Amino acid sequence: MCGRFAITLPNDAMAQLFAAAPANDLPTIPSYNVCPTTNIHVVFGEDGTRKLVPMRWGFIPQWYKKPNDGPLLINARAETIAEKPAFRAACRARRCLIPADGFYEWHRPEGGEKQPWFIRPADDGPMVFAGIWQDWEREGERLRTCAMVTCAALGRMAEIHHRVPVVLTPDQWGKWLGEEGHGAASLMRSVEDTALQFHKVSKAVKSNRAEGPDLIAPL
């Protein structure tokens, strides 16, 4: 799974990268400790145009009477996303891109304490996760929410954690967004571990109040 990530790409550069129209209320950049339930940067298609907007990281199903009415859904498993009542409609019609620099994962060695790692692209470029989104509204309160799609990890990544976000390359963005017809399901597969680099980082990232570039610095 993925429960924390970092993003430092400026908003204007992000809009240019995705050829997307940016909203005026995007989250603050940089952020080295993006946490669930906060607003994150998301790219989605609307009226034939890509838009870069803030969305709450934590998907809220339509039947929730309030945002915390059930489990916090920050990830959706690729293996079951098309079957789960919470996700299946969004999987078909409301897919999005979630940009990042990289993400954190925790590994617990046998008999030891959990150790956080930072995982990022081997080429130091931006990382883009496959996501789904949903509008939720109750009694005048409206939230646009999202979740990351995850799949089984491969190789060395699997030694750190058994799940990994679905990472999309630029040539796959259009298909995932539905701009190029059908076939998005074929993209829900694990990134090869050779495309990633890994290093241990400070346990300070455990606190959702922690911030700053030291969080992603190698130990």
Which residues are part of the catalytic machinery?
Answer: 2, 105
CA–CA dist 177, 95 (Å, integer): 6
Structure tokens at 59: 């998907």
- Which helix H or strand E contains 90, and what residues bound it? helix 88-93
Residue 59 and residue 81 in contact, taking contact as beta carbons nearer than 8 Å: no
Range 106-143 burial, b when 16+ CB lie within 10 A, else e:
beeeeeeeeebbbbbbeeeebbbbbbbbbebeeeeeee
